Structure 1
Amino acid sequence: MMSTAMAAAGMTGALTVPGLAQAAKSTYERRFASEPEVTLKYGAAGYTPAILNTEKAGMLHFVREIEARTDGAVRIEYLDGGQICNQLDCVKKTQQGIIDVFSASTQNSAASAPYYNVIDFPYLFPSRASMHHFFYHPKSEELFRKPLRERHGIEFLYTHCELRGLYLGLKWDDKPLVTSIDEIAGAKIRATGSQMGRKALGLMGLNPVPVAWEETLEGLKSGLIDGAETGAGAVAYAGMSPVVSQALEIGFFANTEHAAFNRASFEKLSPKHQDAVLEAAYSAQIYTQGMNEAALIQITGRTPTPYPGSIWEKEGVRVSFFSDEEIDRIKGRCTPEANPEPWAEWRERLNGWSGGHDTYAEIGAIAREIPEDTLTVNVEPRRWWRS
């Protein structure tokens, strides 16, 4: 279980030893001032305070908000660092009722709960702003949350939002900066549990290789794989930057590290506490919307020339944002509009699971309700459970 001192450090950033002790004491007294009515077990695949200081995905903020909004009546046992589950099996253990709440990427969770694939079509989302807009949108209930709840027993709550790129290992260190997908044709690229992500990589002319997240760093270091598809923040928090020579920021599908409840655990809560959890999730969505945007630039260094003092600047990661023309060429190979046949079976399957929606078209339309150049921090927050 995460210590109170670690929780305090995650809340406040760097502290002196006396300051840390005082913060820990204050946190302890606040959390344990009264006996809880409910204690929930939260399995976080990684997401330690140190990780959440790099990628601002908001899990500890979410925990604090739940406990504060229920005046301690709902207490969370936060099990991070792989203590109880990892990226691939947190969702399984939640479905089995071993844990009540979990956090992992939806892409890794898709291996066991395949409706998560519905947000993984290539270039479904034109920007990070469009992703937040969708997850705040009331129609995300009908198109995404309800099918997850009914089909997989998962109550999806909130998520951080990035778009995935390709991150090349050290064998590309002495090669020119890659600016075209054809320059890495056939490259072995680590893929997540997302069936859609693997299909997109193949259509681009790459060789997707299923590698567990926990083994990706070693694969990049040893040269077993040429690169990995993931998010920039994940490269930074997982300590991969020293073995990543080039970051190809092609933004080809979602990277969503989320929090969700076991449906039965959520429904056992009183209506008042359910509402508190939803409000906590809304707060966490706002938190990551702003905080992770800053972290991508100032902490990770995801800019054409990495931000001074950022992780990528220190590690010498070269960053390539492909031209609009090259992105259009990639879209021509792998999107359902340009190349519909490879996606037909999956679209039919997901549409059936959704209750008959054209999920790709409808989610894509919501994502394009805002201008493509909308800044992420300017997306209007909305309580998605209210029309």
Structure 2
Amino acid sequence: MATKTPLDRRGFLRIAGRYGLTSTTLAALGFAGPLTLEGVGRASAQTAAARNGKAQFNFKFGAAGFNEENLKIQESGQIWFARELEKRSDGAIKVDFIGSNQICNQLDCIKKTQQGIVDLFTASTQNSAGAAPYYNVLDFAYMFPSRAAQHHFFYHPKSEALLREPLRRLHNVQFLFTHCELRGLMMGAKFKDRPTVTKVSELAGTKNRVTGTQLGRIAMQLMELGPVPLAWEETVDGLKSGLIDGAETWMGAAGYGGLSPVLSQAVDLKFFCGTEHTAMNNKAFEKLPAKLQDVVLETAFAAQQYTQRENERALVEKVGAVPNPGPDTLFGKNKVRVALLSDDEIRKAEQACSPEFNPKPWEEWRERLNKMQGGADTYKEIYTIAREIPKDAPVDSVKPRRWWQSA
């Protein structure tokens, strides 16, 4: 009967104690069919045996709060990348995946990577901006009109000069790949009995949890959305208790972060990036032989395509980030209404807070980031790239490009 024993957290940790956390995590994520104690145990033994060869490079991967469970809700590719990197390097690179906030969290993974405590990390670019301010270059309000536009930029050869090279030079970070969503407001209990939001003005005067980004706060202040700094770990209690009215985040994060049970409405404001990226200590990257550097970049390129495909599926099938979410999705089960704003209403929000229509509040940051980059008008250049494809282009229509080869 052991084959029918469902895998729970205690069973997972028992297997991990025998075969190692990374091997067990990789086995569980790659397991086909229902997760059972015996099946995952057997797969973990096989995975551990395959990983036992002597690697040339052992990398610690600090993945903030991510684990094999919530990465099936937000498919941002971290465990897939770790497993694929070991495979593509023929075992020359071994990755110890350390998620669930065990070695670093959203705010300090960047610092521990810069210090060399971990070699790879995952956190949102917005939370990483506190210790590495050039990340703010992604956070101008309404710079990206869609998720497709985001993917288009991260594949673009100009992303090298506008994003990746300055991060290496200024912050010792090799930007590898990212998931792509746009942030809105996830409203709590106070909006349960209110009509579904159709106008940004209906949110004016509310208090909303804000992430670590400096630029996101500018946009929220201009739209009167009351930014309140609050740790991610305290957000659920804040929404439940009414300490805050809502949380500024993206729908995938609301799903994997456990917010769904305390949400009433997910307002698709789309006002700046929600990018859960994976990056590497650049000095560690540069120590790799050229052949393995190529393997890392090719694996990152494959992981960008993985998130482009799989997160779009998960948004619909797992989160329910669509009008009328399916009954088996997180939003469907918790009766979270997805509030889509009209193009005219998004345009009003853009005119209120974006540098394109209201430049003065952004001048200081634009000047600072332009100097850090080396002189380009970073906002205008990224804004233009984001509009090289049609506004309504579907995400799966974006052509993958090796950004480092055509730079």
Query: Is the TM-score greater than 0.5?
Result: yes
CA distance in 2, matches of 1:23, 1:17: 10
Tell me the equivalent position of 2:324: 305
Once residues 255 and 21 of structure 2 are traced to their aligned partners in structure 1, the CA distance between those partners, rounded to angstroms, is 22
2:360 aligned residue: 341
Q: Give the alignment's TM-score, normalised by structure 1.
A: 0.98
**Which residue matches 1:293?**
312
Q: Which one of the candidate residues 22, 27, 30 is aligned to 1:8?
A: 27
Q: Is residue 26–residue 83 contact of structure 2 (8 Å, CA) maintained in 1? A: no
Following the alignment from structure 2 to structure 1, what is the Cα–Cα distance between the partners of residues 188 and 263?
5
Distance 2:287 2:378 in 1: 30
CA distance in 2, matches of 1:27, 1:260: 25
Conserved in 1, the CA contact under 8 Å of 2:22 and 2:96?
A: no
C-alpha distance in 2 between matches for 1:12 and 1:200? 43
Question: Structure 1 residue 142 and structure 2 residue 144: aligned?
Answer: no
Q: Which of 48, 51, 54 matches 1:28?
A: 48
Q: Please, which of 81, 103, 123 is the counterpart of residue 84 of structure 1?
A: 103
Aligned residue pairs, count:
386
2:107–2:212 CA contact under 8 A, matched in 1: yes
The answer as to 2:253 corresponding to 1:253 is no
Q: Does 1:46 align with 2:65?
A: yes
Q: Deviations over 1:161-196 (max 9, x none)?
A: 001110001121111111111112111111111111
Deviates more, 1:69-78 or 1:12-21: 12-21
**Aligned letter for 1:271?**
A
Return the alpha-carbon distance in structure 2 between the equivalents of residues 372 and 339 of structure 1.
21
Give the structure 2 partner of residue 325 of structure 1.
344
Local SS of the residue matching 1:320? strand
Moved over 3 A (4+): none
Report % sequence identity.
55
The equivalent residue for 1:129 is 148
Distance in 2 of aligned mates of 1:144 and 1:27: 36
| Matching residue's letter, 1:76 | V
1:6, distance to aligned residue in structure 2 (A): 2.6
User: What is the rounded CA distance, in whole Å, between the counterparts of 1:251 and 1:31 in structure 2?
Assistant: 42
Give the superposition deviation at 1:160.
0.3
Q: Distance in 2 between matches of 1:102 and 1:313?
A: 32
Matched-pair contact (CA < 8 Å) for 1:11–1:60? no
Q: Bigger shift: 108-117 or 211-220?
A: 211-220
Partner of 1:95: 114
Structure 1 SS opposite 2:21:
coil
Residue 236 (structure 1) aligned to one of 248, 255, 261: 255
The Cα offsets for residues 131-157 of structure 1, whole Å up to 9 and x where unpaired, read as 011001111000000001101111100
The TM-score with structure 2 as length reference comes to 0.93
Q: Which sections of structure 1, spanning at least 5 residues, go unmatched?
A: none
Q: Which runs of 5+ in 2 are unaligned?
A: 1-19
Cα distance between partner residues in 2 of 1:200 and 1:313? 30
Deviation of the 1:3 alpha carbon: 4.3
CA–CA separation in structure 2 for the residues paired with 1:26 and 1:104: 30
Q: Give distance in 2, aligned partners of 1:116 and 1:274.
A: 23
